[in-house]
Amino acid sequence: MKVVLLSLNYAPEPIGIGPYSRGTAEALAGAGHKVHVICGKPYYPHWKVAEAYRGGLYRRAVENAVEITRCAHYAPSAPTGLKRLIHHASFALSAAWPLLRYAITQRPDVIMATAPSIIAALMGRVIAFLCGARFWLHVQDFELEAAQATGLLGQGFPALRLLAAGEKSLFKSAHVVSSISSNMCKRLAGKGVCKDRIVEFPNWADDSRIVLNNRNTRLRAAWGVGDRYVALYSGNIGRKQGIGILLQAAKRLQHRRDLVFIICGEGPEKQALEREAALLPNCLIKPLHPREHLDELLATADVFLLPQLAEAADLVLPSKLPNMLAAGRPIIATASEGTNLHDEVSGVGVATAPGNVSAIVKAITDLIDDPPRLEALGSKARERAVLRWGKQAILAAFVAQFTARMTQALPKRRLLGQMSRYLGLSLAMTIPGLTNALWFTAPEALAVL
């Protein structure tokens, strides 16, 4: 089948949705499907377009048998609610032309969109309808509810009702809607999606690359940590992570000379975090570690810290969780009972009530003061990663579901399918100069950096 994957985030972004969008596309290509990815230029988690991708509206490439069109978009350095909305709208606007062109000339069988971004997914749904393609929506997080929960969008935000209506129409009209956890799938059902159209498609652990390693890594020497216990957070530094609670815990544990907190990451809240951490001798703030050396960073830890705001529970499931499990270290997470995060941490770490600093302090000290328990929980974490979160098994199950569901009764070609008979040759041959100009280049004045 011809498949278009529409995703704001894609490789080479090192964390978040990007690596999983890449894995999805390459798994489909490996199964024999012709895959074209339409994505944004890499910007996350720095919220700045990578230097190598600046300039021009579009960049085309072929990577691991996947055709890729990277589209320019606005990336705000300080992403407020309104700026995020413009950010998503700019990607949808930029991605519309290559998706429309592909729909007319190639007539895809399936358009698969990742949410975020709901705005781009709506555009993808319209084009899927026009060209007669089946539409698969993959929900990585419930972005509207998460934005409200973290204070990015207030109830009085002017476009909120319009966006909510658009989200509702997406859920109802998609042929398949998938999400990354069982509770998020239940939430989809609660939003009116028929259960037979819901698929659980979790993120995975890169268990072939991240293995059990000795804690005495070169990073300990480079960072002056020595043999102290390391409580590590690595990932995005934003609102929904609620990382401020880790600094409060570090402040209470300054007397423990055998313990250091390390926070590695990038994001809009990093500068404020650095100012607070500068006053704490037992807390280090480091840049995001390169993905190719992620296994070394994770091996440096004795315990992982995974904070999350209570309001964001089951609106997202942290994508960093599977790789933490694969590294074989206990996890201390802030998660309420009954949430997916709480269930996943149970038996391989400690789940504390969100916002309870004292509980985090106790969980850390209890673990580092009991080395046999620390080691036992770490071993169980690795076992769970292999059993539940293995990359090959998850992707194989997804490809099987995708192939079975997307080949069932493909709809008749609609308006763009008919147009392609008349316009396809024209676009490809009659006006190649114009289409190539729009495809590959743009005046610098129009480039969105």
pLDDT at 418 over 90: no
> Are 294 and 264 spatial neighbours (Cβ–Cβ below 8 Å)?
no
pLDDT at 421 over 60: no
CA 188, CA 282: separation in Å to the nearest integer? 42
Gyration radius (Cα) of the chain, Å: 23
Q: Is there a single domain that holds both residue 378 and residue 401?
A: no
> Are 161 and 120 spatial neighbours (Cβ–Cβ below 8 Å)?
no
pLDDT at 449 over 80: no
> Are 203 and 178 spatial neighbours (Cβ–Cβ below 8 Å)?
no
Could you tell me if residue 209 is inside a domain? no
Could you tell me if residue 87 is inside a domain? yes
pLDDT of residue 94: 98
How many CB atoms are located within 10 Å of the residue 80 CB? 12
List, edge to edge, every strand of the sheet that includes 259-266.
283-286, 259-266, 229-236, 303-306, 331-334, 349-352
Q: Is there a single domain that holds both residue 147 and residue 251?
A: no
Q: Is there a single domain that holds both residue 175 and residue 40?
A: yes
Could you tell me if residue 324 is inside a domain? yes
- The residue out of 388, 407, 426 marking a domain boundary is 388
Could you tell me if residue 185 is inside a domain? yes
Q: Is there a single domain that holds both residue 384 and residue 397?
A: no
CA 125, CA 174: separation in Å to the nearest integer? 8
Which token pair is 142? 């419930």
Could you tell me if residue 447 is inside a domain? no
Q: Are strands 58-63 and 66-71 parallel, antiparallel or unpaired?
A: antiparallel
Taking alpha carbons only, the member of 132, 82, 105 closest to residue 412 is 132
pLDDT of residue 436: 42
- 352 Cβ neighbours under 8 A, 6+ residues apart: 332, 333, 334, 335, 359, 360, 363
- What pLDDT band is residue 387 in, cutting at 50, 70 and 90? very high
Give the pLDDT confidence of 260-315 residue by residue, as tens digits: 999 999 988 899 899 999 999 999 999 998 888 899 999 999 999 999 888 878 88
pTM here is 0.89
- What pLDDT band is residue 192 in, cutting at 50, 70 and 90? very high
Q: Is there a single domain that holds both residue 128 and residue 148?
A: yes
- CATH number reported for the structural domain that contains residue 363 in this entry: 3.40.50.2000
CA distances from 413 to 109, 243, 252, 298, 418 (A): 9, 49, 64, 49, 7
pLDDT of residue 429: 39
Q: Is there a single domain that holds both residue 189 and residue 222?
A: no
pLDDT of residue 410: 59
pLDDT at 177 over 60: yes
- 418 Cβ neighbours under 8 A, 6+ residues apart: none
Q: Is there a single domain that holds both residue 151 and residue 248?
A: no
Give the pLDDT confidence of 88-146 residue by residue, as tens digits: 999 999 999 999 999 999 999 999 999 999 999 999 999 999 999 999 999 999 999 98
**Residue 404: what are its φ and ψ, rounded to 5°?**
-65, -45
More confident residue, 406 or 269: 406
Taking alpha carbons only, the member of 159, 307, 174 closest to residue 245 is 307
pLDDT at 168 over 80: yes
Dihedral, CA atoms, 204, 208, 209, 211, nearest 10 degrees? Answer: 100
Q: Is there a single domain that holds both residue 189 and residue 228?
A: no
Q: Among 33-47, 351-365, 423-437, where is mean pLDDT lowest?
A: 423-437
Q: Is there a single domain that holds both residue 192 and residue 170?
A: yes
Q: Which domain holds residue 82?
A: 2-204+391-440
Helices (H) and strands (E) in the chain, counts: 17, 14
Number of separate domains in the chain: 2
Q: Is there a single domain that holds both residue 34 and residue 150?
A: yes
pLDDT at 242 over 60: yes
- The residue out of 352, 373, 388 marking a domain boundary is 388
Q: Is there a single domain that holds both residue 185 and residue 289?
A: no
> Are 305 and 243 spatial neighbours (Cβ–Cβ below 8 Å)?
no
Instruction: With H, G, I as helix, E, B as strand and everything else as coil, classify residue 412.
Output: coil
pLDDT of residue 415: 59
- The residue out of 372, 388, 404 marking a domain boundary is 388
Query: Quick one: average pLDDT of 357-386?
Result: 97
Dihedral, CA atoms, 139, 140, 145, 150, nearest 10 degrees? Answer: -170
- What pLDDT band is residue 180 in, cutting at 50, 70 and 90? very high
Could you tell me if residue 225 is inside a domain? yes
pLDDT at 412 over 60: no
pLDDT of residue 419: 52
CA 95, CA 77: separation in Å to the nearest integer? 21
The residues with which 265 forms a beta bridge, in sequence order, are: 235
pLDDT at 64 over 50: yes
Q: Is there a single domain that holds both residue 48 and residue 185?
A: yes
